[in-house]
Amino acid sequence: MDSLGVLLVAPMNAYLEQELDRRCRLFRLWESPADRRDDYLRAHASSIRAVVPYALQGFSGKRVGILGLGRIGLAVAKRAEAFDCPISYHSRSEKPFPKYKFYPNVVDLAANCDVLVVACSLNPETRHIVNRKVIDALGPEGVLINIARGAHVDEPELISALLEKRLGGAGLDVFEDEPFAPEQLFELDNVVLVPHVGSDTEETCWAMADLFSGKRVGIIGLGRIGLAVAKRVEAFDCPVNYYQRTKQDHPGYTYYPSVVELAASSDVLVVACPLNEHTRHIVNREVMEALGPRGVLINIGRGPHVDEAAMVAALADGRLGGAGLDVFEDEPNVPEALLGMDNVVLVPHVGSATHETRTAMADLVLGNLEAHVAGKPLLTQVV
């Protein structure tokens, strides 16, 4: 089959773009004149199977400020903490959470965070609580997330700040004049718009999505990456199960001596182990049958961990509920059948593609080279 067509909305990390270019057929939207982009997209729509919206910034360690530390604000804080994010907040009064820093005014909060999340109730005092002064304090590297009500944010000021690059980006689940979203926002590649469906799951309304909180997560391989996954999902109140060659010293996680047993006791199965002769096709038909028609398989390891032909058949037959794949068995080739499935998310092996991670990887390579030249032990010796 032809290479996977990937739409790049904006310039990105040079290394990542080079890797994508090697594996995929790239369509660079920014190279087309702004007034011709609709025509460009229509012309290439049949070839584009994946979209990379913009160069990604890592979330881990970012300072998160929350407006309103009620039930929703506390849930946001819990999730952000799982990514090692320092939490600060503004509320009408200081709350009994000493590890979170309280700011008595919103401008000070915005000036001391990288991501500002609006999660307070709407009343006359909080209408336009995010105004020009707050947005300017957040600054050109800051990101505004509004999951509360549209009127919390002065929308014309938000649009102006985004257009003038005084604000780095925005994620909006709500708008000031719902159901209408300002047309200018659709032209921006640093804005994510969602039509007020933040709480729409099968548990709260008809067939929109599945709630992740509380799902049983099974992890194959509890090494550095597997533990990082476990930490993140625990923040969503997910029980963590795992399979490893030997039982690990993590009493909060349930160990299973076989992958089939792990899959049978999980709603989501995450593959995060190294690839070797013992783990090739570790996820086979038997494992997928155990995971079942409501189970979801996530592969962030290596493509050959999964029997791809068996997975495609299980998805097509409804014996497996869904899959999220960052890797494939015959990269850069992706099975044609997967491209047409609406219960599959495909990413062209870019799971580590943030500026911070790529920089850290480069620093590690340089550190190993310097240690070798100096006759010192390598930082990450393999053999």
Q: Look at residue 101 and give its three-state secondary structure.
A: strand
CB 30 within 8 A of CB 41: no
Alpha helices in 235-381 (DSSP H): 259-264, 285-291, 308-317, 336-339, 355-373
Query: Residues 82, 84, 90, CA angle at the centre, nearest 5°?
Result: 90
Among this protein's residues, is 31 annotated catalytic?
no
Contacts of 362 (CB under 8 A, 6+ apart): 15
| Token reading at 242 | 């795992």
Single-letter amino acid, residue 162: L
Concatenated DSSP letters for 35-66? GGHHHHHHHHTTTEEEEE-S-----TT--EEE
The residue type of 319 is R
What's the angle, vertex CA 265, arms to CA 259 and CA 266, rounded to 5?
90
How far is the C-alpha of 247 from the C-alpha of 95, rounded, in Å? Answer: 40
Say how far apart CA 141 and CA 185 lie, in whole Å. 18
Maximum distance among all Cα pairs of the chain, rounded to whole angstroms: 67
According to DSSP, residue 10 is labeled S
- Catalytic residue selected from 90, 302, 305, 358: 302
Would you call 302 a catalytic residue per the annotation? Answer: yes
Concatenating the DSSP letter of every residue in 259-283 gives: HHHHHHT-SEEEE-SPPSTTTTT-B
Instruction: Please pick, among 23, 49, 152, 349, the residue that the annotation labels catalytic.
Output: 349
Among the listed residues 25, 331, 355, 356, the single catalytic one is 331
Measured CA to CA, the distance from residue 131 to residue 127 in angstroms comes to 9
289 is catalytic: no
Nearest to residue 119, comparing CAs of 79, 157, 166?
A: 79
Q: Tell me how far the alpha carbon of residue 146 is from its chain's centroid.
A: 17
Please state, in angstroms and rounded to a whole number, the distance separating the CA atoms of residues 339 and 29: 21
Distances (CA, A) of 380 to 343, 345, 361, 383: 38, 32, 11, 10
Catalytic residues: 302, 331, 349
